Structure 1
Amino acid sequence: MSCEHSPAAFKSKKPPQQQVHNFWDRYITKSPGKVTTIFPPSLYSSLLPRPSALSKYDTTTSPTTTNFGASYAAAADACRAKIARIVRDCHRTNSKFTDPDFDLKGNQWDCLLGLNWRSPPAKGNPAAVEDALGTLERMQVFDGTDCLQLTVPVLRKIMGKRVLDEEQEGDNDEDYDPEPKAVHRVGWIFEDPKFEVDGFSSSDIMQGSNSLDCWWLSAVATICHRRELMDKICVARDEECGVYGFVFYRDGEWVYTVVDDHLCLTNGDYEGGGHDPSNAIVKKWRRDKQTGSQALYFAACREENETWLPLLEKAYAKAHGDYHAIWGGWVGEGVEDLTGGVNSELALEDVLFKEKLWKELVNENGNFVFGLDILDRNGSDKNGLANAHAYSLLAAREEEGEDGKTVRLVKIRNPWGARGGDGMGEWTGPWSDGSKEWTPYWLTKLDYRFEDDGVFWMSYNDMLHTFTNLYRTRLFDDEWAVAQEWTNVNVAWVSGYLQRKFVIEVKTATTAVFVLQQVT
């Protein structure tokens, strides 16, 4: 195809600014009109009752029904096709994949903080200290001897917000200020990287510096012992090209996310000087500070060369916009996003029939997965378990002891993995590691051994009295059909607000699940 530049054609066009004016003149008028004229005419159809039949339901439309498995398959196939296109392009250009939409290497802070972006704090900067002291002086917080009186009221005045007392101090959304010191590819970080080693397991999970995504890590731990569920999430990859594809459930449909293999590291590249002709110092620094799972800034697998968890976390962060977006949440929401299930929350002190709940926890058909949390308003810890923290329920067992009495036990995991520096992280009550309840008989019976891995057992009754909420997620298989209808709920400018109703007709006996949801 050829193109010819005609001078006459250019002369016939209006100047660019005039074209802009003409465009806006079509939408702007000097004569005021009704405010409702900015709304599309179809808006009123959902607000006003139909004049012809106020008492009748609108049956002119019905939601489209899709098979649960078919809708997942469509997203998974699209993900695999995109991975295949990326791999072909990588081979053509002889270059590994770099994700332009989530580039940790080239656009780090947009990936970490997104719309909450702010420059990392300057530490040890004399000019910044001088400016800060000048601000404090203008606010008259110094006394006559130029001593700074940092009382709580003064701090409130300086910061313009409530300052927590030491007893109330804890994690806060405003404290999120990630500072990874380097970003490198999987092949650079790991000596012998493998996406998975001996399958997926809750024991793989170690929480990273994004300390308030424990809810999501707990969600992963509740399902990662189910191979069929994990394989539905991690659908395609090419480790040579550094591209990985995952499928999540968002706002009523399956969506796929593709990421590259750049990951954040806690320690930066070596910057020391000195004579190092053999490069030995740099090699030692990299081996000690930047190699293996322990070097990662965010979540990591316990096995030094396993990569599935940090890559899954990165994809989940991308699906929500940035790492900051997954800073805080609920276990059940995470399980929903990973499985397409439907979650319900149950306050454990409100349980009506403990026997009925126990049968659900045993979960012989595998229709449910469960998470737990502790939300004590008094801020107290519970026999070694951290408050304001999420946990995974891995198993429920009813077994007979040596004395012939049955015991109901639950197996739980803390996403920290290992205990904290203060020894917190695992249950210290009955049936905790090393407690008197663990006889050789029980260790063999439950195939259990004491480890600092975040996994512990406790009695069913202790679970009910220790944890605050249970998150119960119902899973679906390919036999389920899904029908959904989304509608806008607007603040009305007219009377008769929100007269539309929805009618669901079940013509044959069946199991049905109904969900009300807002777009996230």
Structure 2
Amino acid sequence: MATPAKKKDFNKTPQELVTEFWDQFFVKKPGKVTRIFPRSLYETLLPPSQPQGVSSSRNATDSYQAAVKECKEKVKRIVKECERTNEKFTDPDFDIEGDFEVRNCLHGLTHDADLNEFFGELQELYDLGAGKGAKKGIKSRGAPRSADDAPEAPAPEGSKGRREGVKAGWRETFTPGSVHRLDWIFESPQWTKDGYSSSDIKQGCDGDCWWLAAVATIAHRKDLMEKVCVARDEEIGVYGFVFFKDGEWISTVVDDNLYLTEEDYRHYYDEYDPTGKKGRKHRKDKQTGSGALYFSQCSDPNETWLPLLEKAYAKVHGDYEAISGGWPGEGVEDMTGGVSSMLQSNRVLRKDKLWKELVNSNGDFVFSCSAHGYASTRGSMANGHAYSILKATEEVDEDGKKVRLVKIRNPWGERTSAGQGEWDGPWSDGSKEWTPYWLKKLDHKFGDDGEFWMSYQDMLDNFLYLYRTRLFDDKWTVVQQWTTVTVGWIAGYLNKKFVIEIKKGGTVVIVLSQLDERYFQGLEGQYMFILHFVLQDKDGKEQLCRVRPTLNWSSRSVSCELDLEPGRYEVLPKITVERDTSQRMVEDVVTRWAEENPAKLRQIGMQYDLAHAKGGVPDEDEIITQRKEEKKKKEEKKKTKAKAKREKERREKRKQKQVQITINMPEGSTVDTSGTGTESDKKEEKKETAEDKKEEEEKFEDAVEEKAKDDEKKKEEQPKRKEDTAAAEEKKIEEKVTGEEKKQEEKEKIEVVGESKPTAAATEEVEEDLSEDEEEEEEEPKIEYEEGKIPWNAVCVVGLRVYAQDADVTVTLATPNTAEEGASLVMDQHAVGATI
């Protein structure tokens, strides 16, 4: 049922109506959840060993070395403990065997609810009939964020070559049959056989072709692969890896349990097999070797490195579903610590320049690519799919002409039953270009292995996006600075800017990034931020580069690379936003899944908290705690002032009464100073005494309550003495309060006559305090937002990383001191474009 339109108030001007609309549109106090779990929930836990700083400067390899050291120490401790207990290692943080029925290692936090909603919408459409109730976004809720989901290539089910994976709507649903260890699955398990190779890689049931394409891109580089796989003990069954996350390297370990496609023999039903022959045959045929694995696998039946690397990558992101769908460049970044940029092939200005970088893929750069289009295939190649660029070479043919060729690989590792998966044009397997001369020159063999050659121009014509990753060694220094910014509804450059200072000129790589939401899927919220920035000199006279994403959906980071002279430079960020109100708000997810799946919320929630625990990012929970403390202090101050006010009023009343008594008394009479007066005076005194007593009682109750809280905290340390201590303390407090009450009563009895007049300064001070108190009580009125509408509240965490071959490079955050200075950040006065 549609919401009835709000009646227009014609007593107001059109401008007033427009202003009122925008007042309702924006939340008055913008903010972001920076802690899923408040600080109080962490009180009993050890603090992190390495607290984040506001800004860090280090050699580009320092963070990596620290993560490697930590990883090796973890593996060493695990090996020692397993030898002591005589048990193989089982990972308590990612125990896929123990989690087999719960499936938290397979699926995301909100998976089941999203799936139920999707099928519910399908049922609604079915009940309404074709074309009568289609909902916008039913095919893919939320904006596409990967090569698989981009609108240029709506990939149908099964286009990624999965054997058993089911994709309902936009959610993966995994159904492995069993879990077993390497020595049970493989007859002769080996970490690698003849080293790492892109030809080892075969995609399984997960939609992680983007990541497998990234692995294949670096697999021919032994130095890069060994940089990721840093420690292992195959007998114990423990494997250590490091990955690059949000500007820092992290480490993780996994055990050697893996998912298999087939269930165990007689797992769901019994069958007569007295000799065990049928069971052994079932295991041999369906649960042995690489081909039995549910997720990715090596082409060799006994090689194990790839499924274990994939498991570790899934673990650091929370589950296997979290790594479904993505961009190959991001995968290369995560395993090399490099910086990736996306190139649209039809925008390449100088093809020779790009070719030189491709040929140098064993040096400073590595490349991958993806194909897109509205059709599910382009010839025999799959669209909406990622591929690896393995090699680029320029050779001379039989006639002396130069030919530029590129070797590419599909992570499926083989064609589908329909023959899709490899290029079928010139230089494809079996094409006329493959003469004996070329077969020998390129050492190429035909085969259904996912690898194929094509000309450089055909690659640019058939792959819409190229992903170029710049690699860094110990010659580079990296500095970074994080902050939060409130993003308005109108696009424009922010009044916060980053200032870079370079002492030594040379090549500089600048990266503006946001937190990687893949690590806390389900808690992303409703806003998708798209990053841009401008680099200019310190005076703002010269704009050096203007950067925006090639695609809005690939905006984890944007970057530029250029040569800079020594000096100071400014980076001006611009962040645009897309909002999807069908997505759940973070606070709603927390309150719901704390009951529905607390274990998974703990896992993803702590990932969220760790991601936001960066220097420069304000701790919203700490701010709330400070506000509560300030409010408490103000309330105590109010009570003190109110008491002073009452005491002042009493003195004034008594003084006036005493003066009146003196005036009305006959000559020669004396004033009664014995404490007794008129009946009305006595009643007034009793009333005032009662008020004081009530106040003291409240104070006493607060003191007792505070003491009870302290006793509760000491319960574990001194359980036996708790009651005696509390009783003794309570008695002391009671005696103290009673003594104060008696002193107050005695004081009031002798203050009736002869009371000194308060000084003018004291009176003014009290009146000033009271007037301040009245001002404090005037709180900001609460805004009544229109029912059913959620006001705009977009807050983004962004960071700037700078790589330079300069050990003294620095980056700081600056905000304009005046409105005029902030206005100077506007780059132009033109209207915002339709695609901003």
TM-score range, shorter chain: 0.7 to 0.9
How far does the alpha carbon of each residue in 1:207-235 deviate from its partner, in whole angstroms, 9 at most, with x for none? 0011x210000000000100000001000
CA spacing shift, 1:62–1:353, aligned 2, 3 Å: same
How far does the alpha carbon of each residue in 1:235-286 deviate from its partner, in whole angstroms, 9 at most, with x for none? 0011111111100000000001111111111000011644322211000000
CA spacing shift, 1:175–1:506, aligned 2, 3 Å: closer
How far does the alpha carbon of each residue in 1:114-158 deviate from its partner, in whole angstroms, 9 at most, with x for none? 313439999xxxxxxxxx9xx97xx7978xxxxxxx95337858x
Deviation at 1:421, TM superposition (A): 0.7
Deviation at 1:64, TM superposition (A): 2.6
The answer for the alignment partner of 2:156 in structure 1 is 170
CA spacing shift, 1:121–1:283, aligned 2, 3 Å: farther
How far does the alpha carbon of each residue in 1:15-52 deviate from its partner, in whole angstroms, 9 at most, with x for none? xxxxxxxxxxxxxxxxxxx9869999xxxxxxxxxxxx
TM-score between both structures, scaled by the size of structure 1: 0.79
The answer for the alignment partner of 1:334 in structure 2 is 331
The answer to whether the Cα contact below 8 Å between 1:120 and 1:179 also exists between their aligned partners in 2 is no
The answer for the alignment partner of 2:79 in structure 1 is 87
Q: How many residues align?
A: 439
CA spacing shift, 1:154–1:177, aligned 2, 3 Å: farther
User: Aligned with 1:488: secondary structure?
Assistant: strand
Letter of the 1:185 counterpart: R
CA spacing shift, 1:169–1:114, aligned 2, 3 Å: closer
User: Aligned with 2:316: secondary structure?
Assistant: helix
CA spacing shift, 1:273–1:436, aligned 2, 3 Å: same
The answer for the alignment partner of 2:90 in structure 1 is 98
CA spacing shift, 1:387–1:37, aligned 2, 3 Å: closer
Bigger share in strand:
2
Letter of the 1:370 counterpart: F
Which of structures 1 and 2 has the bigger CA Rg?
2
User: Aligned with 1:379: secondary structure?
Assistant: coil
Deviation at 1:72, TM superposition (A): 0.8
The answer for the alignment partner of 1:58 in structure 2 is none
The 5-angstrom pairing of residues 69-148 of structure 1 reads 69-108=61-100, 109-118=103-112
Gaps of 5+ in 1: 1-33, 41-60, 123-131, 143-149
The answer for the alignment partner of 2:803 in structure 1 is none
The answer to whether the Cα contact below 8 Å between 2:361 and 2:391 also exists between their aligned partners in 1 is no
CA spacing shift, 1:350–1:89, aligned 2, 3 Å: same
Deviation at 1:511, TM superposition (A): 1.4
The 5-angstrom pairing of residues 490-509 of structure 1 reads 490=486, 499-509=495-505
CA spacing shift, 1:365–1:37, aligned 2, 3 Å: closer
Find out whether 1:468 has 2:464 as its counterpart: yes
Deviation at 1:295, TM superposition (A): 0.2
The answer to whether the Cα contact below 8 Å between 2:106 and 2:174 also exists between their aligned partners in 1 is yes
The answer to whether the Cα contact below 8 Å between 2:111 and 2:171 also exists between their aligned partners in 1 is no
CA spacing shift, 1:169–1:38, aligned 2, 3 Å: closer
The answer to whether the Cα contact below 8 Å between 2:243 and 2:334 also exists between their aligned partners in 1 is yes
The answer to whether the Cα contact below 8 Å between 2:89 and 2:237 also exists between their aligned partners in 1 is yes
Deviation at 1:92, TM superposition (A): 1.1
Find out whether 1:219 has 2:214 as its counterpart: yes
Of all paired residues, the percent bearing the same amino acid is 57
Deviation at 1:324, TM superposition (A): 0.7
The answer to whether the Cα contact below 8 Å between 1:250 and 1:337 also exists between their aligned partners in 2 is yes
Letter of the 1:113 counterpart: H
The answer to whether the Cα contact below 8 Å between 1:261 and 1:311 also exists between their aligned partners in 2 is yes
* Counterpart Cα distance in 2 of 1:256 and 1:281: 43
* Counterpart Cα distance in 2 of 1:499 and 1:459: 47
* Counterpart Cα distance in 2 of 1:140 and 1:259: 44
250, 256, 265: which one pairs with 1:261? 256
CA spacing shift, 1:350–1:454, aligned 2, 3 Å: same
Find out whether 1:384 has 2:380 as its counterpart: yes
Greater Cα offset, 478-487 or 467-476:
478-487
Find out whether 1:230 has 2:208 as its counterpart: no
CA spacing shift, 1:35–1:385, aligned 2, 3 Å: closer
Deviation at 1:63, TM superposition (A): 3.3
User: Aligned with 1:217: secondary structure?
Assistant: helix
CA spacing shift, 1:38–1:480, aligned 2, 3 Å: closer
Gaps of 5+ in 2: 1-26, 34-52, 142-152, 158-166, 517-836
* Counterpart Cα distance in 2 of 1:36 and 1:141: 43
The answer to whether the Cα contact below 8 Å between 1:215 and 1:334 also exists between their aligned partners in 2 is yes
CA spacing shift, 1:275–1:389, aligned 2, 3 Å: same
161, 165, 168: which one pairs with 2:138? 161
Q: Name which structure has the greater RCO, CA cutoff 8 Å, separation 6+.
A: 1
269, 280, 283: which one pairs with 2:280? 283
200, 204, 209: which one pairs with 1:208? 204
Letter of the 2:180 counterpart: H
User: Aligned with 1:285: secondary structure?
Assistant: helix
CA RMSD of aligned residues (A): 3.0
Deviation at 1:113, TM superposition (A): 0.5
The answer for the alignment partner of 2:696 in structure 1 is none
Deviation at 1:415, TM superposition (A): 0.3
